[in-house]
Amino acid sequence: MRSSLKTLPTLAAALLLPAAWGAVAAAQEFDWKAHEGETITFLANNNPWATTVLKYKDEFEALTGITLRVDSYQEQQMRQRLLTVMNARSDEVDIFMTLPSREGMQFAAAGWYEDLLPYTTENAAPEYDFKGFSPALVEAATFDGALTGVPLNIEGPLLYYRTDVFEKCGLNPPESLAGISEVAAELKKCAPDMTAFASRGLAPALPYTFSNFLHNMGGSYMADGKSNLCSEEGKKAISLYASLLKDYGPPGVVNYSFYQLTSLYREGRSAMSFQSSNEFPAVMEGGARLEDTAIVPLPAGEGGSHPTTIGWALAVSQFSSNPEAAWYFVQWASSPEMQAKLALEGIAPPRNAVASDPDYQAWLEEQPVRQHWQEALEHLADKGTSEVGYPIVQNPESREYIGQAVNAVLLGTSTVDEACAAADEQLNALIARE
């Protein structure tokens, strides 16, 4: 199938195909047992989506007769493993999780993704409903007309805060970006045993949360084809983010990614935590935070409200020796039925029909914090931007330089002017290599 699929139309053209054609063809020909007895390997990021969907692994194997081999790592290790496999052009991995906003352009340019668009029209189960996905998420995963991955969720960083602590201290949640510092200062005095404000500090992970500060401040990563971190808005964003973590963050915050943030907040040791909406089920695990937490988007700044909004996708390796069987796992894991099931476990659905499903709505109504989470997600969907790091092929490397600039200020090794100037020099060299 692979060679013939390469010649099929682009996404835009495919969306113009007669609506019933794909469904009729699929209904007549689709067989979930077509690859019975085969084995595929899934390289998983050990995040909430993967850990939740893999609880149903046995259902996939019973439905298809395909053996699913899972190779699971924490995010940074997963990326290292993937780069090793792809650079070797190895078929050791058939399916992997990918962030189109991060490595999408880079991996597409390297030719590492199988184009999944033809599969969605030629080899999909009749109930798959590919057109039910958020068009924005599909577009974000499409490069030069090729669909590099199927959307798995919608997510972005949100501000989780302890309502009981705020009430005890007589505080309201911050209403502006600048107001976070004032609230954090009051929390530090009132609840000195708690971390007043926590967010990502690990250099390559930091841009996910920092980007929301930059954009709300009115800044942008690039202007006129050059790096723009030393703009007034960029310097204000670096100064605010670094000072919040330096003055009110946890010890060792430069090593913090989502794992540490979730653990800190779930254990009741942080009053405000700016972290991924995707971590909602992990934060609520055990139930300790169900009754004392509220969730809101990051407050607007001088530039308005421009939340970071991205989504993970499931991709098939261009070097897979079994892409057709791999596609069966992709469509099972991203089917309306599975995504409805995952939504009831706190995985924000990338399909509009699932988000409005009565069962999902009933689940949200069971707890006020779930409703806060959903309202914040709707804000992400309405106002969000997927610009995390520089919009260039070397986006992952650009994130390192952003993180290093913020950390240099946080650790006191550079002033804001020195840190942004050093980053701009590195980033302009990176941009020049494009």
Q: Does the predicted model carry a pTM greater than 0.95?
A: no
Backbone angles phi and psi of 99, in degrees to 5: -105, 105
User: 304: which DSSP letter?
Assistant: B
CB 295 within 8 A of CB 372: yes
* Nearest partner of 312 among 165, 176, 134, judged by Cα: 134
24: pLDDT strictly greater than 80: no
Q: Average pLDDT over the chain, rounded to whole?
A: 92
User: Measured between alpha carbons, how far is 204 from 208 in angstroms, rounded to an integer?
Assistant: 9
57: pLDDT strictly greater than 50: yes
pLDDT tens digits for range 172-230: 999 999 999 999 999 999 999 999 999 999 999 999 999 999 999 999 999 999 999 99
> Residue 86, Cα to own-chain centre: how many angstroms?
21
Label residue 197 left, alpha or beta by phi (over 0 means left) and psi (-120 to 50 means alpha).
beta
User: Measured between alpha carbons, how far is 340 from 229 in angstroms, rounded to an integer?
Assistant: 41
What DSSP string runs through 288-336? TTSSSEEEEPPPPBTTB---B-B--EEEEBTT-S-HHHHHHHHHHHTSH
**Residue 355 pLDDT level (bands cut at 50, 70, 90):** confident
* Nearest partner of 166 among 296, 261, 286, judged by Cα: 296
Which pLDDT value is given to residue 13?
33
117: pLDDT strictly greater than 80: yes
14: pLDDT strictly greater than 80: no
Question: At residue 94, what is the residue type?
Answer: D
CB 96 within 8 A of CB 43: yes
Neighbours of 33 (CB within 10 A): 11
**Residue 11 pLDDT level (bands cut at 50, 70, 90):** very low
pLDDT tens digits for range 413-425: 999 999 999 999 9
* Nearest partner of 162 among 372, 379, 377, 305, judged by Cα: 372
Query: What share of the chain has pLDDT > 90, as a percent?
Result: 89
